[in-house]
């Protein structure tokens, strides 16, 4: 099933985070209205005296709650020489405080009948627990302690760093497509910190010290750079009271200046290749495109929305344009083909096209076929029927996904972390409804030239029969 908004390009999602707009396979004829399918109340937003944001979204359909702590810091805030430290610190946040032994946090959440984990991206880091709603206070007390008083011994750092290295080996070094996207990101972006991998470069991980992680924690883990998000069977006033009790007394520190790191204009196509053991070759095309930064009148934002719809027309449902043109019939050139558009984020965004050549076909043939489909839209436009189909499916998928309390909390946290309004989902639906066929055709003519394009090709090599098995040798959190 295609993800409704944030479709990542194949196995490169963990490396390049190429957000896309392929639409979910929701029934086109039964999209519910946002007023009935969303949870039963608007989010309540409070700012504590120390600058921490508290967001509460009641949903009383089940006696469960999701508690999330978001920190507006990720891989893009690292500096060269310490790449991977944001992810390493995420692991270390479970390694204790003066009152919690290493691993005790996870054990206590499990004893409540809950689940917990964390994630690191380019734009943010998040920690989450899903628990019975009557255990919320216990979880908030635990997470506030960890956020304010994180402590760990150097031996714990060294052990967890080996876990991080193993994750990198499993998710990147053992995945040819993930390695390709790592090369693509380093070629596509010259100045933007998006050029660096979230998992970190191996040499930086090898040289990382406990003090690197402690410095990153002290620099960025301050209340004014964090938000608590709670969704589920809760009372907003009580959640705010608990947040003030457990998070409100944490002292805030001044944040470092975040200086702009704009990407210089690209002049000319960029091409990279990776040779790696793989069953099939693969090609990925990344075009620099504008992003949605505001819901006010903005031509760049209008183009970002039209590009999102274009991606859905190309690859938003079974039998969409790329599927029909590239993967079907006796002369098909691809076993699979996809498209996605990065709509928003703290850094620059990309429109991606990707494909796996069919037997006897080359990556170059797939590249040409992918570009030909965009050129066809630029020449002939799209039909109103196509627009209606993808919009209806997208709206349905956006509504249905909020049946999950976890999805509600994660959506609100991601909006906050990226500086978007908390009703960005509803605003986006309304804006996408207004995208016209003319706008889609216009962006197809303007954003797909060579001066915006980086092409990456995976050239398969025979697999080494003596290569290490692709299986974890340590206990991975994620």
Distance CA 66, CA 68 (A): 6
Q: Residue 399 belongs to what H/E stretch?
A: helix 384-400
**Burial level of 111, CB count in 10 A (0-12/13-18/19+)?**
exposed
Residue 107 CA neighbour count, 13 Å, CB half: 7
Q: Quick check: is 90 catalytic?
A: yes
Dihedrals φ, ψ of 329, to 5°? 90, 165
Q: For residue 126, what are its two tokens? A: 């998040």
C-alpha distances in Å from residue 217, one per residue of 92, 157, 212: 10, 13, 9
C-alpha distances in Å from residue 133, one per residue of 114, 130, 239: 10, 9, 11
Catalytic pick among 78, 90, 116, 167: 90
Question: H helices then E strands: how many in the chain?
Answer: 17, 11
Residue 404 near residue 232, CB atoms below 8 Å: no
What's the CA dihedral at 15, 18, 21, 22 to 10 degrees? -50
Distance CA 199, CA 87 (A): 7
What per-residue string of b and e applies to 287-306 under the rule 16 or more CB within 10 Å gives b?
A: bbbbbbeeeeeeeebbbbbb
What per-residue string of b and e applies to 313-349 under the rule 16 or more CB within 10 Å gives b?
A: bbbbbeebbbbebbbeeeebbbebbbbbbbbbbbbbb
Residue 312 near residue 40, CB atoms below 8 Å: no
Residue 420 near residue 343, CB atoms below 8 Å: no
Residue 138 near residue 83, CB atoms below 8 Å: no
Residues acting as catalytic residues: 90
């Amino acid at each position: 099933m295609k993800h409704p908004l944030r479709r990542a390009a194949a196995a490169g999602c963990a490396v390049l985070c190429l957000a896309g707009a392929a639409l979910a396979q929701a029934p086109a004829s039964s999209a519910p209205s946002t007023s009935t399918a969303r949870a039963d109340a608007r989010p309540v937003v409070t700012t504590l005296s120390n600058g921490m944001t508290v967001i509460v979204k009641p949903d009383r359909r089940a006696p469960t709650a999701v508690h999330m702590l978001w920190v507006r810091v990720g891989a893009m805030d690292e500096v060269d020489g310490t790449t991977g430290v944001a992810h390493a610190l995420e692991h270390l946040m479970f390694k204790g405080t003066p009152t919690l032994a290493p691993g005790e946090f996870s054990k206590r959440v499990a004893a409540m009948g809950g689940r917990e984990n964390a994630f690191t991206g380019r734009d943010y880091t998040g920690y989450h627990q899903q628990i019975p709603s009557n255990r919320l206070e216990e979880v908030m007390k635990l997470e506030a302690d960890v956020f304010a008083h994180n402590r760990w011994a150097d031996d714990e750092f060294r052990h967890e760093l080996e876990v991080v290295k193993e994750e990198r080996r499993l998710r990147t070094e053992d995945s040819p497509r993930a390695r390709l996207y790592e090369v693509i990101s380093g070629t596509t972006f010259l100045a933007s910190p998006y050029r660096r991998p979230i998992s970190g470069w191996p040499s930086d991980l090898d040289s990382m010290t406990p003090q690197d992680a402690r410095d990153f924690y002290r620099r960025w883990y301050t209340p004014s750079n964090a938000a608590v998000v709670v969704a589920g069977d809760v009372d907003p006033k009580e959640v705010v009271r608990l947040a003030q009790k457990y998070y409100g007394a944490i002292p805030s520190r001044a944040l470092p200046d975040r200086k702009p790191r704009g990407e210089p204009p690209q002049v000319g196509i960029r091409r990279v290749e990776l040779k790696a053991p793989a069953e099939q070759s693969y090609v990925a095309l990344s075009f620099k495109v504008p992003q949605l930064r505001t819901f006010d009148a903005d031509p760049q934002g209008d183009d970002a929305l039209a590009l999102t719809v274009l991606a859905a027309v190309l690859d938003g449902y079974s039998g969409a344009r790329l599927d029909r043109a590239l993967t079907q019939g006796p002369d098909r050139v691809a076993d699979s083909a996809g498209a996605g558009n990065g709509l928003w984020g703290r850094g620059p965004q990309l429109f991606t096209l990707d494909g796996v050549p069919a037997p006897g076909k080359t990556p170059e043939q797939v590249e040409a076929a992918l570009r030909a489909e965009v050129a066809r839209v630029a020449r002939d436009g799209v039909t109103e029927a196509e627009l209606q189909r993808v919009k209806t499916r997208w709206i349905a998928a956006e509504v249905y996904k909020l049946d999950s309390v976890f999805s509600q909390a994660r959506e609100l946290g991601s909006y906050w972390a990226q500086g978007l309004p908390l009703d960005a989902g509803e605003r986006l639906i309304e804006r996408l409804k207004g995208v016209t066929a003319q706008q889609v055709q216009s962006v197809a003519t303007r954003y797909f030239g060579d001066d915006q394009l980086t092409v990456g090709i995976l050239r398969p090599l025979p697999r080494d029969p003596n290569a290490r098995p692709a299986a974890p040798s340590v206990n991975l959190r994620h």
